[in-house]
Amino acid sequence: MEENPTSWFMRVTVTILFLFLLAPVLLVFPISFSGDQVLAFPPSSWSLRWYEALLGNTVMMSAFLTSLGLAVVVTILSLIIAIPASYAIVRLKVTGSEFLFNLFTAPLLLPTIVLGLAILIIFASMGLLATFTGLVIGHLVITLPYALRVLSVSLGNLNLSCEEAASSLGAKPLAVFRKVTLPMMAPGIVAATALCFLVSFDEVVITLFLTGPRMTTLPVELFHHVESQADPLVASVSVLLILMTLAVVMIVDRTMGLTKAFMK
């Protein structure tokens, strides 16, 4: 009997706090169907006008395409660069590999506002500002640490005996890697792909320093839009972004189980 009032109190508190945590994300869905001219909740009427407005907004659409292309290129490059690197660090275990691992994941320790400014100043002197190449390198700085970390964990968890069996049967090192190691790393590669894609597609702060009127990404365009005006357009973009993220997460979940991918 004494237990009940406390656990009841606990449950109500936790429910309210969960509402607080999820409110801003949930609110975006009804607002995106608003029929009003300005941002208001609850909307006075409902419509699809802001989804139509989004399709007709050439700046947003081209920013979306830039973001998509950027995220795809960055993800592919991240895998091409990080898979060999994780192999060198985990399997070849050269002296100082632990130091190298820490060095290569160190960019995640820096606040993005500092990293963004630092990259801005260097890229300005290299003529890389507001260029696709500049954005790719800028994003690689933060996607590579994630990729390296996820791939190293996945490689470290693999059983060596299969690879040893293959090489004792006469397979060359490269063949062992291609035919045995790489397929066994598949779950880690899927997780790294999803993570790199989402990190690149969502990145705002560093990108804000590297974009210009000529070259901009969707999150940066959203930021500037929210900064200058309050209308439901951002809500319709947000809904599409959330659905896309959900799709990526579900693909990962289907392929390998979410907990296995991110909880390690």
Partner 1 sequence: MTTATFDLPVVAQKSSNTVGIAVALLLPIALVNAIGFILPVLNLARMSFNEALPGGGIAEAFTAANWTGLIQDSFYIELITNSLMVSLGITLATLLVSYPIALYLHRASGAWRTFLTVLVISPLLTSAVVRTYGWIALLAEQGPVANVIAAMGFQPPRMMFNTTGVVIGLTEILMPYMILSLMAGFGRLDPKVEEAARTLGATPFRTFWRVILPLTLPGIALGCLLCFVLAISSFITPKLMGGGRVFLLATEIYDQAIVTLNWPLAATLSMLVLIIFGAALAVYSRILRMIEG
As to burial, measured by CB atoms within 10 angstroms (0-12 exposed, 13-18 middle, 19+ buried), residue 18 is exposed
The minimum distance between CB 185 and partner 1, in angstroms, equals: 15
Of 65 and 122, CB closest to partner 1: 122
Of 2 and 159, the one with the shorter C-beta distance to partner 1 is: 2
Size of the chain in residues: 264
| Shortest Å distance, C-beta 162 to partner 1 | 20
For residue 257, the minimal CB distance to partner 1 (Å) is: 11
Cα 154 to Cα 190, 248, 260, 261, distances in angstroms = 11, 20, 10, 9
Judged by DSSP in three states, 212 sits in strand
* Nearer of residues 40 and 65 to partner 1, judged by Cβ: 40
CA 172, CA 170: separation in Å to the nearest integer? Answer: 6
Q: Is the Cβ of residue 171 or residue 242 nearer to partner 1 in the bound state?
A: 242
How distant is the alpha carbon of residue 218 from its chain centre? 14
CB of 87 to partner 1, least distance (A): 6
Give the residue from 131, 200, 126, 187 showing the smallest Cα distance to 158: 187
